[in-house]
Structure 1
Amino acid sequence: MSDPRAHEWNGLRVVVAGIGISGFACADALLERGAQVVVVDHTDAGSRGERGTVLGMLGADIRLGAEHVTALPAVDGEPAQLLIVSPGWADDQPVLAGALAAGIPVWAEAELAWRLRPAGRPAPWLTVTGTRGKATTTTMLATMLAADGRRATSTGQAGTSLLESVLHPEPYDVLAVQLSAFQLRWSSSVQPLASVCLNVGPADTGSLAARGLVYRNTEIACVYNVADEATEQLVRDAEVIEGARAIGFSGGVPAVSMLGLVEDVLCDRAFVPQRATAAAELGTIDDVRTAGAGVLAAHNVLNALAAASLARAFGVVPSAVRDGLRHYYPLPHRLNLLQKTNDVDWVDDSSATDAYAAAAGLASFASVVWIAGGYGPAPDDLDAVVEKYAARLRGVVLLPGDGTSALREALGRHAPDVPVLDAAVTETGGMPEIEPVMRSAVERAGDLARPGDTVLYSPVLAAREGEPFSARGQAFALALKDVPA
Structure 2
Amino acid sequence: MTPDGAPPPRPSAPWSDADLTGLAVCVAGLGVSGPPAARALARRGARVCVIDGQRESDAADADPVAARVHTQAAELRGHGIEVRTGTDALPAGTELVVTSPGWRPDAPALVAANRAGIEVIGDVELAWRLKPAGQRWLAVTATNGKTTTVRMLEAILRAAGYQARAVGNVGTSIVDVALEPGAENEILAVELSSFQLHWSTGVRPEAATVLNVAADHVDWHGDLESYAADKGRIYASGTTRIVNLDDPWSRRLADRYGDPTTPTIGFTLAAPAIGELGVADGTLVDRTGATRDEPGVVLASVDDVRPAAPHNVANALAAAAMARVAGVPAAAVRAGLVAFTPEDHRIATVGTIDGVEYVNDSKATNAHAAAASLAAYDSVVWIAGGLLKGAQEADLDALVRAARERLRGVVLIGADRARLRAALERTAPDVPVVEIDRTDVNAMDAVIGAARDLATTHAASTVLLAPAAASMDMFTNYGERGDVFAAAVTRGIDTAATRD
**What is the TM-score when the length of structure 1 is the normalising length?**
0.90
Structure 2 counterpart of 1:127? 139
1:247 to 257, 262, 265: 265
Structure 1 counterpart of 2:470? 462
Identical columns (%):
41
Structure 1 counterpart of 2:294? 277
Shift, 1:129, TM fit: 0.9
- Counterpart CA distance in 2 for 1:57 and 1:458 is 44
Deviates more, 1:413-422 or 1:95-104: 413-422
Structure 2 counterpart of 1:60? 81
Shift, 1:308, TM fit: 0.5
Contact kept? 1:195, 1:218, Cα under 8 Å: no
Contact kept? 1:269, 1:275, Cα under 8 Å: no
- 1:394 has 2:408 as partner: yes
The answer for unaligned runs of 5 or more in structure 2 is 1-6, 56-63, 217-223
- Counterpart CA distance in 2 for 1:194 and 1:350 is 30
Q: Determine helix, strand or coil for the equivalent of 1:214.
A: coil
Structure 2 counterpart of 1:314? 326
Counterpart code for 2:192:
L
Contact kept? 1:269, 1:276, Cα under 8 Å: no
Shift, 1:281, TM fit: 0.8
Structure 2 counterpart of 1:149? 161
Counterpart code for 1:73:
P
Shift, 1:263, TM fit: 2.1
Contact kept? 2:101, 2:199, Cα under 8 Å: no
Cα gap change, 1:400/1:229 in structure 2, threshold over 3 Å: closer, same or farther? closer
- 1:138 has 2:157 as partner: no
Counterpart code for 1:267:
V
Cα gap change, 1:149/1:43 in structure 2, threshold over 3 Å: closer, same or farther? same
Contact kept? 2:388, 2:468, Cα under 8 Å: no
Deviation sequence 1:6-54 (CA, Å, 0-9, x none): 2222221111111111112111211222222221222145223321121
Counterpart code for 1:208:
A
Deviates more, 1:408-417 or 1:123-132: 408-417
Mapping of residues 209-248 of structure 1, within 5 Å: 209-219=229-239, 221-240=240-259, 243-248=261-266
- Counterpart CA distance in 2 for 1:232 and 1:396 is 34
Deviation sequence 1:175-199 (CA, Å, 0-9, x none): 1111112222222222211111111
Mapping of residues 60-459 of structure 1, within 5 Å: 60-65=81-86, 68-69=87-88, 71-74=89-92, 79-118=93-132, 121-171=133-183, 172-203=185-216, 204-219=224-239, 221-240=240-259, 243-270=261-288, 272=289, 274=291, 277-288=294-305, 290=306, 295-377=307-389, 379-380=391-392, 381-401=395-415, 403-423=416-436, 425=438, 432-433=439-440, 435-450=441-456, 453-459=461-467
Deviates more, 1:198-207 or 1:53-62: 198-207
Cα gap change, 1:131/1:312 in structure 2, threshold over 3 Å: closer, same or farther? same
Counterpart code for 2:227:
S
Contact kept? 1:349, 1:457, Cα under 8 Å: yes
Contact kept? 1:4, 1:81, Cα under 8 Å: no
Contact kept? 2:351, 2:490, Cα under 8 Å: no
Shift, 1:341, TM fit: 2.4
Counterpart code for 2:101:
P
Deviation sequence 1:203-255 (CA, Å, 0-9, x none): 44432221111111334x21111122332232233343x85201100111111
- Counterpart CA distance in 1 for 2:321 and 2:389 is 36
Deviates more, 1:145-154 or 1:369-378: 369-378
Counterpart code for 2:139:
T
Contact kept? 1:13, 1:37, Cα under 8 Å: yes
Contact kept? 1:257, 1:275, Cα under 8 Å: no
Counterpart code for 1:409:
A
- Counterpart CA distance in 1 for 2:30 and 2:390 is 30
- Counterpart CA distance in 1 for 2:365 and 2:267 is 26
The answer for unaligned runs of 5 or more in structure 1 is 426-431
Counterpart code for 2:486:
A
- 1:477 has 2:486 as partner: yes
Counterpart code for 2:462:
T
Cα gap change, 1:419/1:237 in structure 2, threshold over 3 Å: closer, same or farther? closer
Counterpart code for 1:261:
V
Count of aligned residue pairs for this structure pair: 460
Deviation sequence 1:140-181 (CA, Å, 0-9, x none): 111110111111111112421111221233425211111112
Shift, 1:101, TM fit: 1.2
Mapping of residues 26-37 of structure 1, within 5 Å: 26-37=37-48
- Counterpart CA distance in 1 for 2:358 and 2:485 is 10
Q: CA RMSD of the aligned region, Å?
A: 2.0
Cα gap change, 1:275/1:181 in structure 2, threshold over 3 Å: closer, same or farther? farther
Counterpart code for 2:140:
V
- Counterpart CA distance in 2 for 1:378 and 1:174 is 35
Counterpart code for 1:436:
N
Cα gap change, 1:359/1:228 in structure 2, threshold over 3 Å: closer, same or farther? same
Q: Determine helix, strand or coil for the equivalent of 2:33.
A: helix
- Counterpart CA distance in 2 for 1:274 and 1:3 is 49
Structure 2 counterpart of 1:428? none
Q: Determine helix, strand or coil for the equivalent of 2:233.
A: helix
- Counterpart CA distance in 2 for 1:52 and 1:438 is 38
- Counterpart CA distance in 1 for 2:388 and 2:154 is 34
Shift, 1:415, TM fit: 2.4
Contact kept? 2:366, 2:388, Cα under 8 Å: no
Contact kept? 1:256, 1:276, Cα under 8 Å: no
- Counterpart CA distance in 1 for 2:299 and 2:128 is 31
- Counterpart CA distance in 2 for 1:355 and 1:51 is 36
Counterpart code for 1:280:
V
**What is the TM-score when the length of structure 2 is the normalising length?**
0.87
- Counterpart CA distance in 2 for 1:234 and 1:422 is 40
Shift, 1:61, TM fit: 2.0
Shift, 1:366, TM fit: 1.0
Q: Determine helix, strand or coil for the equivalent of 1:261.
A: strand
